[in-house]
Structure 1
Amino acid sequence: MYKNWWKVLGAILVIYSTVAGFLMKTPELPIIRESIRNLYFHVPMWFSMIVLFSISVFYSIKSLRSNDPADDIKAVESVNAGVIFGLLGIVTGAIWAKFTWGQAWSFDVKQNFAAIAILLYFAYLVLRNAIDEEQKRAKISAIYNIFAFPIMVVLLFVLPRLSDSLHPGNGGNPGFNAYDLDSRMRMVFYPACLGWILIGCWIYNLLYRLRDLERNKLSK
């Protein structure tokens, strides 16, 4: 049980942030109003995705050095989990945009770059499925993943700041933390981020263990 403390903590934090996110009072803001509660769900999805992609690139680098199939499996399964959270980030963002900007997809610069970033990792998964030979697949996909990660960072955090954007914190707009993320919201937002990151790592761990069991079964 003591080895799974972080899973229990993740579950508790997600339950707490979900309940508190719907029930606790939020700042009364024009336009955004009650939809600001989506901050507790939308942003943690992206943070979880980035952490999972960071894990993936770590194991891709390790895979190139070790040639261990286990490292390659860890890399791809963390991408699989990361893509799930990336899609959840886009969906929760579209719902938020519908209520605040009037349409789910307004082709805002950050929406567009976020979609491209997800497609970048879909291409990684397609590339893996296109190569049959195991060692060749591991090396080529690892190299792709190592280059994809900094491109993803540029797409999400650099380019949106260079042009006009409706998103807070981009295109000259102040971020939430700068003007309306009060102490009550921080008590929910920070636990939500940590909780969803831990849940994301739990999902990745489960995916890896399932894939590893399949690999060991086939090798027997």
Structure 2
Amino acid sequence: MNKTWWKILGSVLVIYTAIAGLLLGVPRLPILNESIRNLYFHVPMWFAMIVLFSISVFYSIKTLSSKSEIDDMKAVESVNAGIIFGLLGLVTGAIWAKFTWGDFWSFDPKQNFAAISVLLYFAYLILRNSIDEEQKRAKISAIYNIFAFPMMVVLLFVLPRLKDSLHPGNGGNPGFNSYDLDSRMRMVFYPACLGWILIGYWVYTIRFRLRSLENKAQANKD
């Protein structure tokens, strides 16, 4: 039970989010209207992605000092899990954009920079697959990951603020401040963020265990 409570909590929070997010009332805001409910799904995907990429950069730093295959494996599997949530963030954002802006992709600065952020980590995986020697692959990909993380932060949180955007808080759209994000939405939004982060971490642990089993099976064959 000690090892599974957080998995149960994550599952319960996500189920609660799905039900309460569709049934509880939301503020009647111009432009957003009922599509504001997507906040419970779209934004938590990015939080989960950022947490997973943070785990990855932590293990990349450890890899450089420990030269441990386990640390390298944890770094790459947290990236793999993070990319899943990054793609879900892009898809839920595109669907939201269709209902509020009229197009799935409007080349909005935040959309573009978010896509580039995910591509940064696709490049990380491509880099790894292009290097055969294990120690060299671990070292080079760890260094790339350490530089990719701050670039991702800049792309998501700094550069979009320097340009006009259709996203909430810009271009006439209401922002999710203390007035717009009322108590009803907070009751769903905060649990949604925690729930999806826990589910994201669970996905990462599953991927890591599967990769470990694959490596052991391969070692036994050799």
The normalised TM-score by structure 2 is: 0.96
Equivalent in the alignment of 1:120: 120
Q: Which deviates more, 170-179 or 139-148?
A: 170-179
Equivalent in the alignment of 1:175: 175
Structure 1 segments (4+ residues) deviating >3 Å: 169-175
Closer, same or farther: CA 41–131 of 1 in aligned 2, 3 Å: same
Structure 2: distance between partners of 1:85 and 1:207: 14
1:105 maps onto 2:87 in alignment: no
After TM superposition, the structure 1 = structure 2 runs for residues 39-58 of structure 1, keeping only pairs within 5 Å, are 39-58=39-58
Structure 1: distance between partners of 2:126 and 2:161: 30
Give CA deviations for 1:92-137 in whole Å, capped at 9, x if unaligned.
0000000001111000000000011111000000000000111100
Structure 1: distance between partners of 2:133 and 2:101: 48
Deviation at 1:179, TM superposition (A): 3.1
Give 2:181's aligned amino acid. L
Contact 1:81/1:200 (<8 A) preserved? yes
Contact 1:41/1:92 (<8 A) preserved? yes
Equivalent in the alignment of 2:80: 80
- The CA RMSD measured in Å over matched residues stands at 1.3
1:93 maps onto 2:93 in alignment: yes
Deviation at 1:66, TM superposition (A): 0.4
Residues matched between the structures, number:
220
Structure 2: distance between partners of 1:162 and 1:173: 17
Equivalent in the alignment of 2:5: 5
Give CA deviations for 1:2-61 in whole Å, capped at 9, x if unaligned.
211100000000000110001111111112110000000000000000000000000000
Give 1:10's aligned amino acid. G
Give 2:80's aligned amino acid. N
Percent identity between the two aligned chains: 78
Give CA deviations for 1:165-218 in whole Å, capped at 9, x if unaligned.
111245796631243000000000000000000000000000000001111222
Equivalent in the alignment of 2:202: 202
Structure 2: give runs of 5+ residues left out of the alignment.
Answer: none
